[in-house]
Structure 1
Amino acid sequence: MKSGQKSLFDRHTAWQRFKLRYFGAKPWSGPGQVGPDQAPPALPNATFFHAGGKAAVLLIHGLTGTPTEMRFLGKTLAEAGFTVYGCQLAGHCGTEEDLVRTHWPDWYASVEQAYAEVRKKHDIVFVAGLSMGSLLSMHLAANHPGEIKGLGLLSTTLRYDGWAIPRLSFLLPLFLHTPLGLRYRFVENYPYGIKDDRLRQRVVANMTSGNSAEAGNLGMTGHSLRQLLSLVELVKREMPAIDTPAMIIHASNDDVCSIWNARYIESHLGGTRELLLLDDSYHMVTVDKQRKEVGRALASFFAARTDPQALVRDHVTAS
């Protein structure tokens, strides 16, 4: 190899190393595709229901996610005697174009609608959410003071600062306020929030095959991220006034959002709170290696705030 060629090769590999260190493997993959202004198609219905006792739990999935990521938790809570409802957020379980058509108030409207239906049947209601679903849970509690008996805040995402997030992610809010940033498509990085190798392979296979109703979307446009950040700022302002008891569950080694997020909630919520840190999970704590521990802890937390008679199964059926 000639010296000039070697120098060029060295410069190229150095640049690749720089990109991986500061921008990640695939922080974005090009312009997002925004569909035409037309009525969105019908999305798959991935909601679920488990009959149980008089006390109910509403479960809320995360951004680009699906109710499927809450199903195991739902079964665990149902086995503990709760009636469980898994809701589906607007624009989710379809394509990225479906998601782009929605804004955070649309996602929250899905939660309000689901909560209203649950309240028709149950006087005792708990709410738990994963990642952005945790934010929506807190916003729901802020809008219904004194009604919700307890919150489960799982892997709450206030900022993307986990170890798998690109080093320059702190510039994301500025980038999203540009026309280019709004249309760029951001793609998840390895390990995709899952420490369990076998489960990760199955989830990634579903995402890459387009099975979003089962595994969610692999990426999202800047539009959706900007909506998330707007919701974060609102919920931060609401936290001191939220006096609903809360259990905060977070992985110590979360690859998406660091333990800082859990500590922030712990110090800013207005009500009583408990913090559980997991040592063998990543971001998706409801499906990862310690999913059973998450379910047991949340069931215990909710049960302690429930009349034992309310956990007696009464064969509630879906309307």
Structure 2
Amino acid sequence: MSRNPEYEPLTVDARPELTGGRRIGVLLSHGFTGSPLSMRPWGRYLAERGYGVSVPLLPGHATSWQDLNTKRWSDWYGAISAAFDELVAEHDQVVIGGLSMGGTLVLRLAADRGDQLAGVMVVNPVVASMRRDIKALPVVKHLVPSLPGIANDIKKPGAEEHGYTRTPLRAFHSVVQAWRPLIADLPQIKAPLIYFRADDDHVVDAASQPIILGRISSTDVDVVPLPDSFHVATLDNDAPTIFERSAEFVARVTAPG
């Protein structure tokens, strides 16, 4: 992947004059083999409404799939945690959101740091899969370094995620290994949550949604279907729904009192 400014992290300062004098921060995480490019339109939309926005570049992304294969879940979670710490230090309240594995990362963060955040936004998050070949990863990852990529599952003509064309298996196995501990800790999530789910997702199957919604402790949950999008919904036909509903969500969960 050639380096492009759109792959770089996105950081926008809060404009408290647009948010009632309070500094509100939003952390957004891209997914596995992707980059901040997939989150930039969402981040910019929220920034225009006065929110401070951080979209970090996860380690091993926007370089090569071989580089990503040297990274693990702890590297990505460390990057998200560091970005979260910066937002918490500089803002009155923080909301977190993510796409695909980015959604998995922010769910982990919500389980670990729920007392420091105001709300959680996820788009097609993954904590499980019905694919049988997942069980073979511990062996297969030692036999082949990668499989065909999962990037660019977008319905909208002309839209491009520009993710890796290969899926590095050692790195991906570390994602899968993070699922079970997260599922066990989902009851720790008590913050308000908005869950965006594409009706026709060719990357994340239907296994994750009932697990997440069935185990979290939050009593403030809004599920928003995305009927005209595939997996990378933040760049797809239903992106305006994600942007508008998330802006409403952030305003509501960070409102004084």
TM-score after normalising by structure 2:
0.88
* Cα distance in 2 for residues equivalent to 1:252 and 1:181: 34
* Cα distance in 2 for residues equivalent to 1:93 and 1:80: 28
Of residues 81, 84, 95, the one that matches 2:53 is 84
1:1-319 aligned at under 5 Å gives the runs: 46-51=8-13, 52-53=15-16, 54-160=23-129, 169-173=131-135, 175-178=136-139, 183-188=144-149, 192-200=152-160, 203=161, 215-271=162-218, 272-307=220-255
CA deviation profile, 1:112-149 (whole Å, cap 9, x unmatched): 11111111211200000100011110111122131110
* Cα distance in 1 for residues equivalent to 2:203 and 2:188: 27
Q: Which amino acid aligns with 1:198?
A: G
* Cα distance in 2 for residues equivalent to 1:250 and 1:68: 20
Q: How far 1:184 moved relative to its partner?
A: 3.5
* Cα distance in 2 for residues equivalent to 1:233 and 1:254: 22
* Cα distance in 2 for residues equivalent to 1:259 and 1:141: 22
Q: How far 1:270 moved relative to its partner?
A: 1.1
Q: Which has the higher contact order (CA 8 A, sep 6+)?
A: 1
Q: RMSD of the alignment, in Å?
A: 2.2
| Partner-residue secondary structure (3-state), 1:286 | helix
Percent identical = 26
Q: How far 1:81 moved relative to its partner?
A: 2.4
* Cα distance in 2 for residues equivalent to 1:176 and 1:62: 19
Residues 252 and 259, structure 1, Cα contact 8 Å, conserved in 2: no
Q: Name the CA shift for 1:276/1:182 in 2 (closer, same or farther; >3 Å).
A: farther
Worse overlay, 56-65 or 115-124: 115-124
Residues 26 and 53, structure 2, Cα contact 8 Å, conserved in 1: yes
Q: Which amino acid aligns with 1:305?
A: V
Q: Which amino acid aligns with 1:233?
A: R
* Cα distance in 2 for residues equivalent to 1:157 and 1:122: 29
Extract unaligned runs of 5+ from structure 1.
1-41, 162-168, 204-214, 310-319
Residues 152 and 163, structure 2, Cα contact 8 Å, conserved in 1: no
Residues 198 and 231, structure 2, Cα contact 8 Å, conserved in 1: yes
Q: Name the CA shift for 1:179/1:252 in 2 (closer, same or farther; >3 Å).
A: closer
TM-score after normalising by structure 1:
0.72
Q: How far 1:160 moved relative to its partner?
A: 4.4
Extract unaligned runs of 5+ from structure 2.
17-22
Q: Name the CA shift for 1:49/1:186 in 2 (closer, same or farther; >3 Å).
A: same
Q: How far 1:260 moved relative to its partner?
A: 3.9
Residues 182 and 226, structure 1, Cα contact 8 Å, conserved in 2: no
Q: How far 1:197 moved relative to its partner?
A: 2.0
The higher radius of gyration belongs to 1
- Residue in 2 aligned with 1:3? none
Q: How far 1:182 moved relative to its partner?
A: 5.9
4+ runs of 1 displaced by more than 4 Å? 42-45, 179-182
Q: How far 1:261 moved relative to its partner?
A: 2.2
* Cα distance in 1 for residues equivalent to 2:37 and 2:157: 18
Q: How far 1:180 moved relative to its partner?
A: 5.0
| Partner-residue secondary structure (3-state), 2:158 | helix
What is the aligned residue count?
A: 246
Residues 59 and 70, structure 1, Cα contact 8 Å, conserved in 2: yes
